[in-house]
Amino acid sequence: MFLSLGQLPLANSFLLYDQINNEEPLYPLDVYFCSVCSLVQITDVVPPEVMFTNYPYVTGTSQTMKNNLSELCERATYSIAMQENDLVIDIGSNDGTLLSYFKSSGFSTLGIEPASNIAKLASENGIETLQSFFTNDTCSQILKTHGKAKIITGTNVFAHVDDINGFIKCTKRVLHPDGILIIEVPYIPDMLKKLEFDTIYHEHLSYFSLSALNTLFTGHSMSIVNVDKLTVHGGSIRIYISPIGNQHCPYLEELLDEETKLGISDINLYVKFADEVNKLKSQLKTMLSDLKQTGKKITAYGAPAKGNILLNYCGIDNTILDCVFDNTPFKQNLFTPGTHIPVVSDSTFQQSNTDFCLLLAWNYEKEILDKENEYLENGGAFVIPIPYPRIESKL
Ligand code: JHZ
């Protein structure tokens, strides 16, 4: 273990007003490094049913994410020979944003999504969605009703899976022999370099390097045949995996070398990260407490899962922040877990007389600062929390 973030509430367990005086369930958030396969993981596994049966995160709330997924569709259909009506399956398909691009390109689509509120949203958006986790039984059902898929995608879902070997076996069952599996995960070198400690939460069981992923897929006689480096979620990778083993990918070799140079298999890299995270915690808390003491009005922007980790770990609660602005209807009018800050619609931000706004959704800095340019023009300031607290203003 190289980092302990303490006992924290689940990052997406927003509260109703009636619940804020109740004791909240807390779970340990300790992070481990495996010196055998270089995988970084948390070992306290909260049952997925507790976290994903009702889910507040909606993919289509960010234009940046929509652009990324539209590009994924283009890259995927370019990477293998596809025919009209070939099947594309998306695991953890959320509101169907990604599949909508495949559907408009003329392919058959099927979403697998466990959260009932989100699966309903996808169906309302016209995307056929099976409300289920991706299990062996689900695979048998898909094979009977839809047959094998030419493309299987999983964006920001693989890190959420406890039995990753079982998950890979399932994808192999459903994937056409000429097909491709495409996975997007946050990339651990980015997390380490940019101190993105708040992306560590109970939903994310694994934090992947290519070294760990390559070992994993090689063990299933599959090959990583291409890699795209992405800027989304603070730095991610999109990997293209063929069900055929022993294929060579020069770009993968290059990236594996870079990881070796970074020291990805050396525990010291992680210990250093943990030290920096500790320093950041006190810098951010001190900065915001000082501003508050001088009478400034401080709010936050975005109520992402990671924001709740940052607030709880740094001890920033409703005595410092008046409210959090967010555009997701499933989060509005609720309270942040542990810190009990009201989440309100982003449409009220410009009228809020905020002096300083903590950007919890720091991964959308450009999108949000562009959108809220008027606030900056009028003398407002954003506090960007990572990799060190920084103030963005036009003054
Ligand atoms: P965002 C998600 O984490 C969920 P989160 C998930 N667990 C995962 O694995 C990671 O991604 C990788 C709001 N917003 O995308 C919307 C505005 O209000 O950083 C969201 O609530 N206005 C699957 O939750 C939040 O900010 C805006 O203009 O950390 C951003 O959440 C924009 C752009 C966003 O993910």
For 80-107, the pLDDT digits (tens) are 999 999 999 999 999 999 999 999 999 9
- Non-local (6+) Cβ contacts of 14 within 8 A are 56, 303, 331, 334, 335, 336, 337, 343
Mean pLDDT of 201-225: 97
Cα of 122 vs centre of ligand 1, distance in Å, is 17
List alpha helices for 182-237, DSSP H.
188-193, 210-218
Sign of the alpha-carbon torsion through 268, 271, 276, 279: negative
Sign of the alpha-carbon torsion through 65, 66, 67, 68: positive
Residue 395 has pLDDT above 90, yes or no: no
Q: Which of 68, 196, 327, 346 to mutate to test the pocket of ligand 1 (most atoms within 8 A of CB)?
A: 327
Here the tokens at position 33 are 């490094």
Give the residue carrying structure tokens 């909240």: 24
* Residue with CA closest to ligand 1 atom 13: 302
Which neighbouring-strand residues pair with 236?
A: 186, 230
Sign of the alpha-carbon torsion through 135, 137, 140, 146: negative
% of residues, the chain, pLDDT over 70: 100
What pTM was computed for the model? Answer: 0.97
Cα of 233 vs centre of ligand 1, distance in Å, is 8
In this predicted structure, what is the pLDDT of residue 242? 97
Which ligand 1 atom sits closest to the C-alpha of 302? 26
| Model pLDDT for residues 123-145, shown as the tens digit of each residue | 999 999 999 999 999 999 999 99
Cα of 220 vs centre of ligand 1, distance in Å, is 32
In this predicted structure, what is the pLDDT of residue 196? 98
Residue 323 has pLDDT above 90, yes or no: yes
* Residue with CA closest to ligand 1 atom 18: 326
Cα of 32 vs centre of ligand 1, distance in Å, is 25
| Model pLDDT for residues 344-393, shown as the tens digit of each residue | 999 999 999 999 999 999 999 999 999 999 999 999 999 999 999 999 99
How many angstroms separate the first and last alpha carbons of the chain?
Answer: 44
- Non-local (6+) Cβ contacts of 134 within 8 A are 91, 92, 112, 167, 170
Q: CB under 6 Å to ligand 1: residues?
A: 57, 61-62, 156, 186, 203, 233, 302-306, 326-328, 331, 346, 361, 363-364, 367-368, 371
Here the tokens at position 79 are 């990477």
Give the residue carrying structure tokens 């390097």: 209
Here the tokens at position 114 are 């466990």
Q: Is 329 helix (H, G, I), strand (E, B) or coil?
A: coil
Q: From its phi and psi, is residue 118 left (phi > 0), alpha (psi between -120 and 50) or beta?
A: alpha
Here the tokens at position 372 are 């809220």
For residues 60 and 66, give the distance between their C-alpha atoms in angstroms, rounded to a whole number. 6
- Non-local (6+) Cβ contacts of 167 within 8 A are 134, 158, 161
Mean pLDDT of 31-57: 95
* Residue with CA closest to ligand 1 atom 1: 304
Residue 305 has pLDDT above 90, yes or no: yes
In this predicted structure, what is the pLDDT of residue 324? 98
Q: How confident is the model at residue 225 (pLDDT cuts 50, 70, 90)?
A: very high
Q: Is 328 helix (H, G, I), strand (E, B) or coil?
A: coil
